[in-house]
Amino acid sequence: TVLYGVIGDPVRHSKSPTMLNRAFRESGVNGIYAAFHVKPEQLQEAIAGIRALGFRGLNVTIPHKVDVMACLDEIDEAARSIGAVNTIVHDNGRLIGRNTDGIGYVRSLKEEAEPDLAGKKIVVLGAGGAARGIVWALNREEPSAIWLANRTWDKAKELAGSFDGGPASRVSALPWEQVRDACAEADIVVNTTSVGMSPHIADTPIDPSWLKPGAVASDLIYNPLTTAFLRQAQERGCRIHGGLGMFVYQGAYAFEYWTGLPAPVAAMREEVLTSFT
Ligand code: ATR
């Protein structure tokens, strides 16, 4: 039996074990996946344990995604660019840090809402850790513009600056006062802030009526599955994309890196949805 798991603090609400164990069963992989509560001061020892016990793979969640990088042998390009690791692959005694959050989000967006991102205008609301991974992955799809808007201007500027590719750079910081005009032009508006998360389910990060009908409203939040932002955008004639897909596909990429098999995405999604009810 091959060992897998997730480390975090807290970790007991993680839906990764049920989702990945279902994926293993579905694909006939002889693996088992468990959640481990690891406090920050135990991180190094926990990673040494992964090596010693021969775990094949590990997911890493809050608050370890940045600090774990110092414990690994190699960091892939995605994780290096984003500055965080959410997936470790144990290969021939080497621990390789990868990041599947951003690419998981983009795969979900393309599968579920908008197959072609090239040339699109995208507004990203929020400039925290989640936004960084998503902007990195969106930028690789060659949209025409990514406008970053955040309550705290300095963080938007800092994030946009880290993607600066010169005057023609697609990623730019957008003053909050200009969000309304940008949304009226945008093909896709993504909420990466925590506004609308349970229990504050009536809140929206912006007025959804700013979006043009037919645009995609996307939200990283998956509790609730459909936020007020998405519901109101849908009423306005927008296509909507919820956060559950990002969770499913970040796990799907991890499964694929570990096993080399295509992830049973439909079964994984079904399993997570079941655990919600
Ligand atoms: P995550 O890793 O989920 O992105 P984070 O790094 O704490 O979490 O970032 C949270 C994001 O939500 C930030 O962009 C934050 O804005 P600030 O940089 O101004 O703090 C945004 N956010 C949180 N609460 C908000 C609110 N009430 N209104 C607007 N933005 C909010």
Report whether the peptide linkage leading into residue 262 is cis, meaning its omega lies within 30 degrees of zero.
Answer: no
Indicate whether 49 and 110 sit together in one domain. no
The minimum-distance atom of ligand 1 relative to the CA of 193 is: 12
The pLDDT of residue 166 is above 70:
no
Indicate whether 221 and 109 sit together in one domain. yes
Both tokens assigned to 39: 């406090």
The structural domain count of the chain equals 2
Indicate whether 233 and 250 sit together in one domain. no
- Asked whether the beta carbons of 203 and 224 are under 8 A apart, the reply is no
How far is ligand 1, taken at its centre, from the CA of residue 193, in Å? 5
Indicate whether 183 and 86 sit together in one domain. no
Based on the number of CB atoms within 10 Å of its own CB, is 52 exposed (0-12), middle (13-18) or buried (19 or more)? exposed
Indicate whether 230 and 203 sit together in one domain. yes
Indicate whether 238 and 249 sit together in one domain. no
pLDDT digits (tens, 9 = 90+) for 46-95: 999 999 999 999 999 999 999 999 999 999 999 999 999 999 999 999 99
Candidates 49, 37, 42; CA nearest to 13 is 37
pLDDT for the residue 209: 97
The minimum-distance atom of ligand 1 relative to the CA of 131 is: 4
In the block, which residue shows the tokens 């938007």?
Answer: 156
Indicate whether 137 and 183 sit together in one domain. yes
How far is ligand 1, taken at its centre, from the CA of residue 51, in Å? 35
Position 169 confidence tier, pLDDT thresholds 50, 70, 90? confident
CATH number for the domain harbouring residue 69: 3.40.50.10860
Candidates 70, 75, 104, 108; CA nearest to 89 is 75
* CB of 128 closer than 6 angstroms to any ligand 1 atom: yes
CATH number for the domain harbouring residue 142: 3.40.50.720
Known catalytic membership, residue 65: yes
| Mean pLDDT of all residues belonging to the chain | 96
How far is ligand 1, taken at its centre, from the CA of residue 150, in Å? 8
Query: Which of 151, 176, 191 for mutating ligand 1's site (highest number of atoms within 8 Å of CB)?
Result: 151
* CB of 155 closer than 6 angstroms to any ligand 1 atom: yes
- Distance CA(124)–CA(209), nearest Å, equals 16
Indicate whether 147 and 227 sit together in one domain. yes
Higher pLDDT, 169 or 38: 38
Position 168 confidence tier, pLDDT thresholds 50, 70, 90? low
- Distance CA(260)–CA(257), nearest Å, equals 6
Interface confidence (ipTM) of the complex: 0.96
3-class secondary structure, 27: helix
Position 18 confidence tier, pLDDT thresholds 50, 70, 90? very high
Indicate whether 106 and 169 sit together in one domain. yes
Question: What are phi and psi for residue 191, nearest 5 degrees?
Answer: -95, 115
Question: What are phi and psi for residue 99, nearest 5 degrees?
Answer: -135, 120
Indicate whether 262 and 219 sit together in one domain. no
pLDDT for the residue 90: 98
In 129-257, beta strands by DSSP E: 145-149, 171-173, 188-191, 216-219, 239-241
pLDDT digits (tens, 9 = 90+) for 187-204: 999 999 999 999 999 999
Given the residues 65, 120, 157, 212, select the one marked as catalytic: 65
Indicate whether 232 and 252 sit together in one domain. no
Query: Which of 193, 204, 207, 250 for mutating ligand 1's site (highest number of atoms within 8 Å of CB)?
Result: 193
pLDDT digits (tens, 9 = 90+) for 88-136: 999 999 999 999 999 999 999 999 999 999 999 999 999 999 999 999 9
Q: Quote the domain boundaries for residue 210.
A: 102-242
* CB of 152 closer than 6 angstroms to any ligand 1 atom: yes
The pLDDT of residue 275 is above 90:
no
- Asked whether the beta carbons of 59 and 16 are under 8 A apart, the reply is yes
pLDDT for the residue 167: 62
The minimum-distance atom of ligand 1 relative to the CA of 192 is: 4
pLDDT for the residue 164: 74
Both tokens assigned to 142: 């060659």
β-strands 31-37, 2-8 pairing:
parallel
* CB of 195 closer than 6 angstroms to any ligand 1 atom: yes
Candidates 95, 51, 93; CA nearest to 69 is 95
Position 5 confidence tier, pLDDT thresholds 50, 70, 90? very high
Sheet with 121-125, side-by-side order of all strands = 171-173, 145-149, 121-125, 188-191, 216-219, 239-241
Indicate whether 232 and 130 sit together in one domain. yes
pLDDT digits (tens, 9 = 90+) for 219-270: 999 999 999 999 999 999 999 999 999 999 999 999 999 999 999 999 999 9
Give the helix/strand (H/E) hosting 270: helix 265-276
